[in-house]
Structure 1
Amino acid sequence: MVARHPHTLTVGLAQIAPCWLRRDATLDKVGVWLEQAAAEGCELVVFGEALVPGYPFWVERTDGARFDSRLQKELYAHYVNEAVDIAAGHLEPLAALAAKRGIAVYLGVIEKAADRGHSLYCSVVYINANGKIASVHRKLMPTYEERLVWSCGDGHGLRTHPLGAFTVGGLNCWENWLPLARAALYAQGEDLHVAIWPGSQRNTEDITRFIAKEGRSFVVSVSGLMRAEDIDPALPHFDTLKTACRGNLADGGSCIAAPDGAWLLAPETGSEALRIATLDHRRVLEERHNMDPAGHYSRPDVTRLTVERKRQTTAEFNGDETL
């Protein structure tokens, strides 16, 4: 392997569409794009929000708030069955591939957890270059109609990770707008912020540059795509979905802003692409000369943040449970 420069990190933005609502097929596709990113020298590859098995676009388009709707029940049941169960090993092949190719990964998934029944979480998973699943952050607050199919997350995954010269952290979609969630990552030394989105330049074009200026960090925003042709005829209620979900539901908008807020890669829409950029950590140090939000420009004697990292659960069992 070619020696990496101690100050730089090469990042790949994998702007792709899922094999919508099909977990295994989408994970296979993610693996193909991971391989491509690794072959092109990327040390980190990032995928969009809820990519595996896909964002719930049907909710907005098919009267998702109608109570006791058979259509909504059947689509939700399918969604649960296709969600990612990390404890069951659904991500193990991808983690093994990351280790084999020596590349770190941020990936948006719909997560189900056996100890939380059949509820779903919008999670961003970080897999390090050794193939370890180092954090799983469940979106703190689903946005608007997302609350009809996703549950509220917790602070367990509000973590940063060393990656070369950088300290990287990530958030899902609109929780990037939450000042305290960002502050929790800044306080852990974050200087490379990953923001993942289902897709749309209207989401990425303002906040990407704003977070970069606020955090004096590089900010990588990665979006997915979703087109009518991505709807599989084998899905439940295909005819209804095909009629309701016309055109482009998500068109990308992936981009990178430098620590001064300038575009390193401006948002691009409309097609699948692997966009690559090399980040120089010395730019972070330059911009933090006059502003460091968790360092010399903070006042912890006046304002401080407390973060509850305990994974939420509905029951705790104490004592010897063996028969």
Structure 2
Amino acid sequence: MEFKKFKAATVQTSPVFLNVEKTIEKAISFIKEASQNGAQLIAFPEVFVAGYPYWNWVLTPVQGSKWYEELYKNSVAVTDASMQPLYQAAKDHNIHIVIGINERGDSYGEIYNTNLIIDNHGKLIGKHRKLVPTWAEKLTWTSGDGSSLKVYNTEIGPIGTLACGENTNTLARFTLLSQGELIHIANYISLPTAPPEYNMAEAIKIRAAAHSFEGKLFTIVSCSTISKEIVDILKPEAPQIEELAQRKDAAFSGFIGPNGAVIGQPLIDDEGMIYADIDLEKCIQPKQMHDILGHYNRFDIFDLRVNTAPTRKITFIDNHEDFNKR
């Protein structure tokens, strides 16, 4: 059995707010740089294409409604022409990509918070829709379903992903672990609008460490930042955003090993891209102590059942009888 070793990159930056094409261009610039530095995997923040609905936290729902419309206009379908350069970049640079998007739903005006998993051949091998939007996010996103709780086998190893707060969901995390996940991508947004006593950077690190330690795997965290551009766009209607955006410990990006410890120096608040060497063989020995998928569990006591069927919004039944034949 071959145990993969590879270099991974993670990005902490802001999108070009509500601009799909320019955000994709920005992503590709990071992809090129990561590939030149030997990375075979790159992680991008939650809903990086093309922005997070910060207005939900600083405006009333009525005031924020026009921004919801703008976000929908700048949401994407995975088959859109604007997305093709991203897939091509994965192929051209022989790199795996996990990136968050605002995905258009089938219903006009419907948006999902979605993570895409793109392999090094430029193929979209999977997408995960956030199961439960967090708090004020419920004003924007529709909930995903169990059909996207999957782990994807790639040339560098099995990859799974969850977005932001759902990394707190023990059952969702266990569902990925049970499918052999060894590389977990946890992506987030900078959240200076959280309650004053809430340390977002520390909360992100705690969640990532918990998943890595419990599952004996590598977690790669990518978090966005709030650019001056985003502040300037929202400030006329929400002047408090300028002060909030200065808040410290609002973003954390980095790498966590199977022992739950941070690898190298993480990014806290600062923009940039950092790297780590991933050796999946290091996931073996810790399992001897706690293998919650094997000897360190009691499946005769515990029984987790996961509904992986896609949500069915309507069922058409035709039981009409032809009375003329009676």
Provide the residue aligned with 2:86 in structure 1.
94
Provide the residue aligned with 2:310 in structure 1.
311
1:15 aligns with 2:12: yes
Deviates more, 1:169-178 or 1:206-215: 206-215
Unaligned runs of 5+ in 1: none
1:24 aligns with 2:16: no
Deviates more, 1:263-272 or 1:51-60: 263-272
| 8 Å contact kept, 2:235–2:241 | no
1:104 aligns with 2:96: yes
Alpha-carbon deviations, 1:152-203, whole Å to 9, x = none? 1111211112234532111001101111101110110011211111024133
Provide the residue aligned with 1:72 in structure 2.
64
Spell out the pairing of 1:162-311 with structure 2 (5 A cutoff): 162-164=153-155, 166-199=157-190, 200-227=200-227, 229-231=228-230, 239-241=236-238, 243-247=239-243, 248=245, 251-311=250-310
| 8 Å contact kept, 1:49–1:124 | yes
| 8 Å contact kept, 1:56–1:146 | yes
| 8 Å contact kept, 1:204–1:267 | no
- Three-state SS of the structure 1 residue aligned to 2:115 is strand
Taking structure 2 as the reference length, what is the TM-score of the superposition? Answer: 0.87
Q: C-alpha distance in 2, partners of 1:259/1:13?
A: 17
With over 3 angstroms needed to count, the CA separation of the structure-2 counterparts of 1:195 and 1:286, relative to structure 1, is same
With over 3 angstroms needed to count, the CA separation of the structure-2 counterparts of 1:152 and 1:181, relative to structure 1, is same
Correspondence for 1:142 among 133, 140, 153: 133
Q: C-alpha distance in 1, partners of 2:7/2:179?
A: 22
Q: C-alpha distance in 1, partners of 2:59/2:246?
A: 14
Q: C-alpha distance in 1, partners of 2:157/2:290?
A: 18
| 8 Å contact kept, 1:172–1:195 | yes
Unaligned runs of 5+ in 2: 191-199, 319-326
Deviates more, 1:85-94 or 1:178-187: 85-94
Taking structure 1 as the reference length, what is the TM-score of the superposition? Answer: 0.88
Q: C-alpha distance in 1, partners of 2:43/2:156?
A: 18
With over 3 angstroms needed to count, the CA separation of the structure-2 counterparts of 1:62 and 1:221, relative to structure 1, is same
1:85 aligns with 2:100: no
Provide the residue aligned with 2:50 in structure 1.
53
| 8 Å contact kept, 1:42–1:103 | yes
Residue identity opposite 2:72 in structure 1:
V
Q: C-alpha distance in 1, partners of 2:122/2:310?
A: 22
Q: C-alpha distance in 2, partners of 1:94/1:148?
A: 29
- Three-state SS of the structure 1 residue aligned to 2:70 is helix
1:216 shift after superposition:
1.0
Higher-Rg member (1/2): 2
| 8 Å contact kept, 1:49–1:109 | yes
1:28 shift after superposition:
1.2
Q: Percent identity?
A: 25
1:35 aligns with 2:32: yes
Q: C-alpha distance in 1, partners of 2:17/2:277?
A: 31
Q: C-alpha distance in 1, partners of 2:104/2:14?
A: 21
With over 3 angstroms needed to count, the CA separation of the structure-2 counterparts of 1:293 and 1:6, relative to structure 1, is closer
| 8 Å contact kept, 2:231–2:242 | no
- Three-state SS of the structure 1 residue aligned to 2:47 is coil
Deviates more, 1:310-319 or 1:287-296: 310-319
Deviates more, 1:260-269 or 1:172-181: 260-269
Aligned length: 305
Residue identity opposite 2:242 in structure 1:
R
Residue identity opposite 1:284 in structure 2:
C
Alpha-carbon deviations, 1:1-53, whole Å to 9, x = none? xxxx9531211011111111222211111111111111111110000111111
Q: C-alpha distance in 2, partners of 1:122/1:249?
A: 26
| 8 Å contact kept, 1:205–1:267 | no
